[in-house]
Chains A and B, each alone.
Chain A
Amino acid sequence: MDWDEEYELIRSGRAVPRAGPSFLTRDGSPSNDDPHTNANSTTRHQQPQPPAPAPAAAAAIESVPDFYPEEAEQGTPLEQLTRHWMNERHAPDILPAQEDLLMNLLDHLRRQSEAVQLLREDPSTSEEEHIRIMLVQIEVERVKFIVRSYVRTRLFKIERYARFITTNAEIQTRLTAAERDHASRHAILTDQHFYLSVLQGLPEKQSHLDDTPLFVPPMVTEPDKSRPVFVHALQRCPRVRLPDGATLDMEKGHISLMPYSVVEELVARGEVELI
């Protein structure tokens, strides 16, 4: 899947343009979150032969003031996504979708890429500018890697548990509309395949995919929450009960290996991260 498809897949779930600052945003601009500011600053580069192109470009990449003032607790959007990415990679279950966060970062990515494009086309861009452009571009690729891997990790689990997802209302609340849609289409495809290749040849009673016969595991595969995970406490955590009956009080910084089911709620509340 390429980048644009991925973007569309997420976007089709809920397309609310969210904005963060781009590196083109001007210093001190109070409207960092307003996409029009960026639109204005970028149009300037599109004007054919501007009277003084060099200062215009220079002005456009003036720095921004401190942004993300609310992030002291949870970190920058990128730090948050990185944490969700790792949690998703390690958790056996599918974690709640982070649509707003992802949209925010995708918009930011798009603006950075557009800005790079404009500056590259501008013949007046200086040598030093080129280094900045290169750095911005490297970061764009880094962030894209994380976004991709995050989306793909979810997709892997969604396809694996597609049949379970279609029958379980609770897990559906953790998926985006596009992901739910993908799960049901995937489940239908595999069901049809099983039916056409094997099940249609069996007696009616045996041609179903949701039997629960005695002594046989259920046909619908569910996430195995007993799978162990490495847990890192981000704060002091409420007491948890372990499988052997003992209890554990995790202080901030504590690292343990234990079944996911023990810390499921702590992960959901962001009190621990999976590492």
Chain B
Amino acid sequence: MSLPQSLRASVSPPELELIASQQLIEIVPLISMEKTAFISGAYGPLRPPNKARVPLWMAVNLKMKKKCHIVAPSWLNVEYLQEHLALELSQQTFSSLPFRFTEIAKVILDVASDDLENPDKIRSLMKDLREARQAKSREGLKTLDHSELSLPNLCSMEINEIRPYFVQSMSILTQLVRDPLRNA
């Protein structure tokens, strides 16, 4: 088959990670490299110890060869996440986070936890944040109808997780609701 069954109803988390890995991130290079033209753009020059902005996939590959340190994005630290968690717990709506924050945080935590301060605390805050937000999508499910459901500030990975059953449920409701034109 041209597209595997598992990919027809949704997108896989690794695919979303691939997309998120195109986002630019700051690194402190440990090697020099001239400015180079890639398909997605020109990156460099790398001149240690000057910071440079490169796509996350490049940062990951350099990091794994011990050729750079990754500079955490401004939202990936204990203070920011703690504040955000408090906000998340105090309000009914989803708080605003970078659209691909789950993917990016996961990648950085996986390969560059030594470049982060207190990575274990960050991990546990990410988990708390995830659970607080999941409780809200559960609330969203209660209000699902056949017409429309607004989900402001829902993030890429969160959408992907709820997609299969939100879409299927709305589809079923669409069929169970009578054609409004016929009633008119």
List residues of chain A with CB under 8 Å of any chain B CB: 20-23, 25, 61-68, 76-79, 82, 86, 89-90, 105, 108-109, 112, 128, 131-132, 134-136, 138-140, 142-143, 145-146, 149, 152-153, 155-156, 159, 226-230, 242-246, 248, 253-259, 262, 275
Contacts and interface: CB of A to CB of B under 8 A. Distances in A.
A112 B39 contact: yes
B44 A63 contact: yes
A258 B174 CA distance: 10
Interface stretch (B1-9, B71-79, B82-90, B120-128): B1-9
18 contacts: A23-B37, A61-B34, A63-B35, A63-B37, A86-B19, A128-B32, A131-B33, A132-B33, A156-B3, A229-B167, A230-B163, A242-B148, A254-B150, A257-B148, A257-B151, A257-B167, A259-B147, A259-B174
A227 B171 contact: yes
B39 A143 contact: yes
Contacts of A259: 147, 170, 174
Contact of B31 (A61, A131, A140, A228): A131
Interface in B18-45: 18-19, 21-22, 31-42, 44-45
A245 B39 contact: no
B37 to A, nearest CB: 4
Contacts of A77: 39
A178 to B, nearest CB: 14
B170 A255 contact: no
B101 interface: no
B74 to A, nearest CB: 19
Contact of A257 (B22, B44, B166): B166
B163 A63 contact: no
B159 A135 contact: no
Contacts of A255: 150-154, 159
A230 B39 contact: no
B-side interface mostly: loop
A155 to B, nearest CB: 4
A228 to B, nearest CB: 4
B149 interface: yes
B146 interface: yes
Q: Which 3 A-B pairs have the closest CB atoms?
A: A63-B35, A156-B3, A244-B147
A136 B38 contact: yes
Most buried by B among A22, A135, A248, A262: A135
A82 B153 CA distance: 21
B67 interface: yes
Given A63-B42, A258-B147, A145 B61 contact: no
B42 A66 contact: yes
B15 A149 contact: yes
B29 to A, nearest CB: 10
Interface string B107-151: 000000000000000000000000000000000000001111111
Contact of B38 (A135, A146, A257): A135
B105 interface: no
Contacts of A112: 38-39
A131 B148 contact: no
Given A159-B2, A243-B148, 18 more contacts: A63-B36, A67-B37, A77-B39, A82-B19, A112-B38, A112-B39, A131-B31, A135-B58, A139-B58, A145-B18, A155-B3, A242-B147, A242-B148, A244-B180, A245-B180, A255-B150, A256-B151, A259-B174
